[in-house]
Structure 1
Amino acid sequence: MTAAKKSWYAVRCVFRWEASEGPSYEERLTLWRAGSADEAIGRAEEEAGRYARENGVEYLEFAQSYRLATDGPPGDGDEVFSLLRDSELDGEAYLDRHFDTGQERQRHARGA
């Protein structure tokens, strides 16, 4: 029996942080070499549990995977995650609703 060919998978897990200012949510991407999406998610969820315990946060039991399109090791410019979401919102309203609410703690570039 031959071993399954392994691919690179990015897995996004979501966490809830409690702070005196109120709750914050973290979307965290980790990279895994695995034989399937299910294997990558399983390994990522184990790591997410450790991360949550070590940081005193709640893992929300939400994981999404994305198989990288590369056969070799990831490199500059490789896509590591993609998620399509259907929406009737125009571009600016979509960004405001999902990514630029004013509550994010991030660095970002948004065209003028």
Structure 2
Amino acid sequence: MDGPLTKDPESGWFSVRCVFRFAGEPLPTYEERITLWRAGGFEQAMALAEDEARKYAEMFDGCEYIGLAQGYRLYDEPGHGAEAFSLMRDSSLDPDSYLTSFFDTGDERQGRIDAQ
């Protein structure tokens, strides 16, 4: 990496996941956004991301940044196939229950790719 960030081994690229709540009927909608930041360390990356999160929420009526920000220091330069975010969680749930509890509740707004 070139430039002044190379002096600090903690500097580099960071991804930060922030969570938002949109007012809605009959239910509110939550959004998780992951943004990329080149920063001198976690503290700077988190500050940049949270500042951007507040500005993002202000762009929409009924949207609020709910204050959850999780950061990850990228070990690769951003590019094709680079790991952009990782969050590890200990759980005694079996795989199907884990996915249902945290990722596939049935209320997500997502598409499906049919198996060929």
- Return closer, same or farther for 1:109/1:39 CA change in 2, 3 Å cut-off: farther
> TM-score normalised to the size of structure 1?
0.88
Unpaired stretches in structure 1, ≥5 consecutive residues = none
> TM-score normalised to the size of structure 2?
0.85
Give the distance between the partners of 2:21 and 2:112, measured in 1 at CA.
21
1:45 aligns with 2:50: yes
Residue-pair matches, total: 108
Note the 1:10-89 alignment, pairs <5 A: 10-56=15-61, 57-70=63-76, 73-89=77-93
Unpaired stretches in structure 2, ≥5 consecutive residues = none
Give the secondary structure class of the aligned counterpart of 2:56. Answer: helix
Does the 8 Å CA contact 2:5/2:12 hold for their aligned counterparts?
no
Deviations 1:4-62, CA, capped at 9 Å, x for gaps: 43411000000011112211111110000001011001000000000001112010111
Offset at residue 109 of structure 1 (A)? 5.7
